[in-house]
């Protein structure tokens, strides 16, 4: 939740209706994550993609359960935009013209996030099948209690201190995954950011991330299950080269320079 939110313009959602119907061009001054947030909150396609992801995870779960393993089975999930939907925070940021991390703590402590479509049913089913669920998130330690409260209010399985691995020194998740893989056979990893799956993708530029995805093609939809997140993530942080101190104008120019036209 960071770089994209720096591009802040106050713009009511009704302006979406002012798009040119012939070109579908957004009105000038549109917030950079307006369409992405609306997609998450209103597009049937977004919901279908989430169901698709958890249906695929179900196939992987079926296969794992029917195969003997030396270690007990576990599933590793990310939290934000994987099992919990933070789009109300994103929407409020657009409506009131603020950006992350402004009011992020308020949103966290409200523990009011709803489940990402399909996440709850899948994880309940996995737990009922005897598979443990580990939540590896880059939320800060200070939000541990609120995170557990949110997950428990919704009834998510294994929402306790033993199964929740918060951000430690940095954002990388490999060291936390290793703690789980030492004791469990991992059925699948589920996340909205490539860093949720492997250290292969950490701190890579956009082109290198693409190459790493190509080299891992067979894992996607199988052992690695990807949720859609168009609003924020390493994908957009990588575009200007992980340079969080840029001015909005400089960032906007850099992002535009990444567009691939037809001539």
Smallest gap, in angstroms, from Cβ of residue 138 to Mg ion? 7
11 vs 224, beta carbon nearer Mg ion:
224
- Cβ closest to Mg ion, residue 78 vs residue 85: 78
Nearest residue (CB) to Mg ion, 65 versus 200: 200
Considering only residues 91 to 150 of the shown chain, the ones binding Mg ion according to CB under 5 A are none
Nearer to Mg ion, 80 or 237 (CB): 80
Distance CA 143, CA 118 (A): 24
Ranges within 49-78 binding Mg ion (CB under 5 A): 78
Query: Which string of DSSP letters, residue by residue, matches 134-159?
Result: EEE--S-GGGHHHHHHHHHHHT-TT-
Residue 220, phi then psi, degrees to nearest 5: -75, 135
Q: How many residues bind Mg ion (CB under 5 A)?
A: 4
Neighbour order of strands in the sheet with 132-136: 164-165, 132-136, 73-77, 185-191, 224-226
Considering the rule CB under 5 A, would residue 85 count as an interface residue with Mg ion?
A: no
Say how far apart CA 227 and CA 49 lie, in whole Å.
Answer: 7
Structure tokens of 237? 């942080």
Name the maximum alpha-carbon separation found in the chain.
Answer: 59
Rule CB under 5 A: choose which of 37, 54, 80, 104 binds Mg ion. 80
H/E stretch holding 210 reads helix 206-215
Instruction: Considering the complex, state which of residue 11 and residue 180 has its C-beta at the smaller distance from Mg ion.
Output: 180
Question: Which window, 22-30, 81-89, 94-102, 216-224, contacts Mg ion (CB under 5 A)?
Answer: 81-89
Using CB under 5 A as the binding rule, whether residue 192 contacts Mg ion is answered as: yes
Token pair 């195969």 is at which residue? Answer: 67
81 binds Mg ion (CB under 5 A): yes
Residue nearest to Mg ion (CB): 80
Residues that bind Mg ion (CB under 5 A): 78, 80-81, 192
């Amino acid at each position: 939740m960071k770089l994209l939110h720096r591009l802040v313009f106050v713009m009511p959602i009704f302006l979406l209706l002012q798009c040119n119907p012939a070109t579908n061009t957004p009105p000038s001054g549109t917030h950079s994550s307006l369409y992405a947030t609306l997609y998450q909150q209103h597009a049937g396609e977004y919901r279908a993609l989430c169901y698709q992801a958890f249906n695929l995870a179900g196939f992987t779960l079926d296969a794992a359960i029917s195969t003997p393993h030396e270690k007990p089975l576990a599933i590793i999930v990310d939290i934000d935009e994987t099992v919990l939907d933070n789009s109300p925070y994103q929407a409020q940021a657009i409506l009131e013209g603020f950006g992350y991390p402004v009011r992020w703590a308020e949103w966290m402590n409200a523990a009011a996030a709803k489940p990402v479509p399909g996440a709850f049913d899948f994880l309940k089913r996995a737990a009922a099948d005897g598979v443990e669920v580990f939540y590896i998130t880059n939320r800060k330690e200070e939000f541990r209690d609120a995170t557990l409260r949110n997950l428990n209010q919704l009834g998510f399985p294994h929402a306790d201190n033993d199964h929740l691995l918060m951000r430690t020194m940095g954002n990388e998740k490999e060291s936390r995954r290793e703690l789980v893989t030492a004791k469990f056979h991992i059925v699948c990893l589920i996340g909205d950011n490539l860093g949720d799956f492997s250290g292969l993708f950490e701190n890579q530029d956009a082109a290198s991330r693409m190459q790493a995805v190509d080299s891992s093609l067979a894992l996607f939809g199988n052992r690695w299950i990807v949720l859609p997140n168009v609003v924020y993530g390493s994908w957009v942080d990588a575009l200007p080269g992980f340079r969080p101190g840029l001015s909005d104008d400089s960032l906007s120019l850099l992002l535009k320079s990444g567009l691939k036209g037809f001539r």
